[in-house]
Amino acid sequence: MSALDERLARVALNWLTEPGDPRVARLVEDLGAVRVHEHLLAERDVHGLHTDVAARLEGFDVHRHLDEAEKTGARFVVPGEEEWPTRLDALRDAPVLNERGGVPVGLWVRGPLDLAGLTRSVAVVGSRSATTYGTQVAAEIAHAVARAGSAVVSGAALGIDQAAHRGALAGNGATVAVLACGVDRIYPAANRALVEHVLDVGAVVSEAAPGREPTRIRFLSRNRVIAALSEVTVVAEAALRSGALSTATWCERLNRPLLGVPGPVTSAQSQGVHERLRLGRAHLVTCGEDVLEYVGRPGEHLTDARHGETIPRDRLPWRQKQVLEAFPAVDVVDAPALARAAGIGIREVQGALLRLGAHGWVVQEGEGWRLGRHG
């Protein structure tokens, strides 16, 4: 059997079955798409009549289906082809979640971006009912990631997904929108302009056949594709029952880094992220630079530990700082009083005063001293 036969059989199975059905994925893995298609096509009931599945397959014109999809600019990509993103193959060994799992029999793709080129891609996902804080952080992370040359993957939903795609586009980088409906449809309709922009410069992807409507099951299947396409997943905001946590769980099952953006402890939209962080199941990130550390090559995108701004007093020896801190705000004070206030010997105080005075930290007035221009 040829590669073309395998491809056409996968198109038919994709049209017939629900995305992410683990039974179909296992059968195709074990027998090949052609044999699975032949078995289903030959099915008969106890009366010798074709079963419903066989009748549906018999009436399906795969060439017409491909022609109609092509008119919308869609192409069907299957395992083994040059454009197939091999990162998806890791789904073969990932445990099933909510009766969904397995490697897709194929993906429908629209847009100029080649999926095989998705190196070091980053998923940025989160709540649809996102806060201004959440969308700002998601957009900043996506912008930084895209500017660094990594693709941003998200689900084209409202809220965090929308902010992630916009951030990537603003950074003139690659972005992939993974849909829970056919690639010839746009859901939600409010994101039409955004998705059309992604179609011009990136890729719109779906496991669902063209024409399919979004359903809850298809969203759950979509989430595993988002996680599998990405090297790491960032959850910017997610409530305790957020669908974004499904993507996070798939990320864990694929043994890939899960990154979480903390929010206010009073924010319901961040409670799901906080729980992952509290349990040690996610790594805390606050900006794009943090995320890039997880996708960079060895020695790339390393950042120093953050600390407050260094001020001149920080550079003084400890004893000199101790003497400075013993000074009153405005009064003139003598060395013995400073020694008592600082809790150190008078000779050490006198030596420190001379060195501090030489650099303008203190000024001598008669027998006493006062703070200078730096102190």
Write the CATH number for 179.
Answer: 3.40.50.450
Indicate the pTM of the whole model. 0.85
Cβ atoms within 10 Å, residue 193: 9
Residues 132 and 260 in one domain: yes
Instruction: For residue 47, tell me if it sits in a domain.
Output: no
Read off the pLDDT of each residue in 323-333 and give the average, rounded to a whole number: 90
Instruction: For residue 145, tell me if it sits in a domain.
Output: yes
Instruction: For residue 14, tell me if it sits in a domain.
Output: no
State pLDDT tens for residues 235-271.
Answer: 999 999 999 999 999 999 999 999 999 999 999 999 9
Distance (Å, whole) CA 133 – CA 335: 53
Instruction: For residue 304, tell me if it sits in a domain.
Output: no
- Which of 267, 295, 323 terminates a domain? The answer is 295
- Which of 249, 270, 295 terminates a domain? The answer is 295
Residues 352 and 265 in one domain: no
Residue at token pair 């014109």: 61
pLDDT of residue 42: 82
Residues 351 and 284 in one domain: no
pLDDT of residue 299: 57
Distance (Å, whole) CA 355 – CA 104: 73
Residues 282 and 341 in one domain: no
- Which of 295, 324, 341 terminates a domain? The answer is 295
Nearest to 28 by CA among 13, 50, 45: 13
| Number of folded domains that form the chain | 2
Write the CATH number for 330.
Answer: 1.10.10.10
Residues 283 and 334 in one domain: no
Residues 282 and 334 in one domain: no
pLDDT of residue 59: 84
Residues 320 and 291 in one domain: no
Tokens representing 268 are: 């319901």
Paired strand residues for 259: 234, 283
Distance (Å, whole) CA 95 – CA 37: 25
Angle between helices 160-170 and 192-201 (to 10 degrees): 40
State pLDDT tens for residues 147-170.
Answer: 999 999 999 999 999 999 999 999
Residues 169 and 259 in one domain: yes
Angle between helices 132-147 and 288-295 (to 10 degrees): 40
| Domain coverage including residue 365 | 312-371
Instruction: For residue 48, tell me if it sits in a domain.
Output: no
Residues 139 and 185 in one domain: yes
pLDDT of residue 48: 55
Residues 316 and 291 in one domain: no
Q: How confident is the model at residue 57 (pLDDT cuts 50, 70, 90)?
A: confident
